[in-house]
Structure 1
Amino acid sequence: MSLLLPVAATAGPLAVGWSVHGLWFRRQIERARRDPLTGLPGRTAFLAWVRRMRAQGLVLVWVDLDRFKVLNDTHGHAAGDAVLVTSAARLAGWAEHHGGYAARLGGDEFAAAITAPSHLPDALGSLHEVLCGSVPYRRHELRVGASVGAYREEGLAESGLGRAMRRADEAMYAAKRSGGGWCIAHGPIPSMTTTNGRRTGRRGTSGGAR
């Protein structure tokens, strides 16, 4: 019995130590999956959330800031970072209000997935309005526009998730071509051509950059 007592006495602290270490490790992994500038999850975490929640019926939303390069060139990258951080917070707040999840895809591209609201046009209109609000920076009021595209999933199978994302991206591009605002894609069939497996016109395709 005397040999077992020390072991029993140390088992509790060891278990607590490993529990704390495991929690720290999980937090490090979660932090690594987030964008270091905005704090939003990245594409991988976003897709994992969408796959878990698809059964509820989601609306996928793609966002691209308008005139962001001009702002960067005019006011500098620090000003651009301030706009990205503020835009990310605004998108995240909107998505949370609608029971959803927001992410930064890269550059000035963002995505969100929300449970279908009772009136999607009103929800998208409010998102566009808040994203276009001015951002205080030093003695300036910085402004960028936003192009918002949405696609309401229509019971597509798991293999159709990529197509649903493509439709949201196409709707966003349609809004951008019309000068900004928001657009909803209808039907699961992509309406635009592809280049190297991506929508023609996206960055990195031979069709040019947006």
Structure 2
Amino acid sequence: MDAFDVLSAGAAAAPLLAGWSAHMLWMRQRLTRARMDALTGLPARELFTHFARRDLRGLERVAVLVVDLDGFKAVNDRHGHAAGDAVLVAVAGRLRRWAADLDGTAARLGGDEFAATAFTESAAYLPGHLRALEAALSEPVAFRETTLPVGASIGAYSHTRLPRIDLSTALRRADEAMYAAKREGGGWRIADGPIPEMTTTNGRRTGRPGTTPLPGGAR
């Protein structure tokens, strides 16, 4: 085959290659969208797992967070599911901005449960970041002609010592810290001490109780 034949074959194959590349790009975009939460636009559990595992392999200090809304059922019961959706969308946007400012990833695990990763300068800075997140998430949400209360319990786990722990363990520690915050009425807690013995499902504590009421008695 001479040079002319090679060039001719390459020219003939170019449209096929271009079409295949476009198809592969479309497939990748479709798969990514399938792993996004349709309501909030945040990564769902599968995609978050991919990003969070990548973050935990890094050399920087990484915090893993679990966030559970307080009083969310009352919003649905009193104002309807459209109002509940408005709260979820607002919380998702706030968590996304917070995580992005710390080079992390936010996700919706399902229902009113969220997760995030964040890179922190040192352990001393993490409480300040969590206070800022709590304040942001607790801002009321405007919905039609009313404002909806929002509360959140936040659990965080930050690990820097080698060897690195796996994501399931990090989520388990963050989940336990979140539940400690929920028992005390919300806010944030950082996991410390030994890992408690308990069964888990996808890194979450199995069979944990429901949400904490908002101040004022909402359940």
After TM superposition, give the deviation of residue 201 of structure 1 in Å. 4.7
Q: Distance in 1 between matches of 2:32 and 2:150?
A: 30
Residue equivalent to 2:161: 155
Match status 1:190 vs 2:191: no
Q: Distance in 2 between matches of 1:69 and 1:145?
A: 11
Contact 1:61-1:150 within 8 A present in 2 as well: yes
Contact 2:55-2:117 within 8 A present in 1 as well: no
Instruction: Pick from 149, 155, 171 the counterpart of residue 177 of structure 2.
Output: 171
After TM superposition, give the deviation of residue 177 of structure 1 in Å. 0.9
Letter of the 2:191 partner, please give it.
Answer: A
Counterparts of residues 86-101 of structure 1 (less than 5 Å): 86-101=90-105
Contact 1:148-1:182 within 8 A present in 2 as well: yes
Residue equivalent to 1:46: 48
Residue equivalent to 1:141: 147
Residue equivalent to 1:127: 133
Structure 1 residues 41 and 24, CA gap change in structure 2 (3 angstroms): same
Match status 1:80 vs 2:81: no
Between the two proteins, the alignment pairs up a number of residues equal to: 204
Q: Distance in 2 between matches of 1:135 and 1:173?
A: 24
Structure 1 residues 3 and 59, CA gap change in structure 2 (3 angstroms): closer
Residue by residue over 1:75-100, the C-alpha shift from the partner in whole angstroms, topping out at 9 and shown as x without a partner, is: 00011011101101110110000110
Contact 1:147-1:173 within 8 A present in 2 as well: yes
Letter of the 2:131 partner, please give it.
Answer: G
Q: Unmatched 5+ residue regions in structure 1? A: 203-207
After TM superposition, give the deviation of residue 52 of structure 1 in Å. 1.4
After TM superposition, give the deviation of residue 21 of structure 1 in Å. 1.0
Q: Distance in 1 between matches of 2:174 and 2:199?
A: 15
Match status 1:181 vs 2:187: yes
The TM-score with structure 2 as length reference comes to: 0.84
After TM superposition, give the deviation of residue 155 of structure 1 in Å. 2.8
Q: Unmatched 5+ residue regions in structure 2? A: 212-219
Letter of the 2:61 partner, please give it.
Answer: G
Contact 2:53-2:166 within 8 A present in 1 as well: no
Q: Distance in 2 between matches of 1:11 and 1:47?
A: 38
Contact 1:98-1:117 within 8 A present in 2 as well: no
Match status 1:199 vs 2:205: yes
Q: Distance in 1 between matches of 2:200 and 2:172?
A: 13
Counterparts of residues 47-66 of structure 1 (less than 5 Å): 47-54=49-56, 55=58, 56-66=60-70
Greater mean alpha carbon deviation, residues 117-126 or residues 79-88: 117-126
RCO comparison, higher one (Cα < 8 Å, 6+): 2
Structure 1 residues 136 and 201, CA gap change in structure 2 (3 angstroms): same
Q: Distance in 1 between matches of 2:6 and 2:204?
A: 64
Residue equivalent to 1:37: 39
Q: Distance in 1 between matches of 2:82 and 2:187?
A: 26
Contact 1:87-1:131 within 8 A present in 2 as well: yes
Residue equivalent to 2:116: 112
Structure 1 residues 85 and 150, CA gap change in structure 2 (3 angstroms): same
After TM superposition, give the deviation of residue 144 of structure 1 in Å. 1.3
Q: C-alpha root-mean-square deviation of aligned residues, in Å?
A: 2.3
Q: Distance in 2 between matches of 1:195 and 1:115?
A: 25
Q: Distance in 2 between matches of 1:89 and 1:147?
A: 17
Structure 1 residues 103 and 16, CA gap change in structure 2 (3 angstroms): same
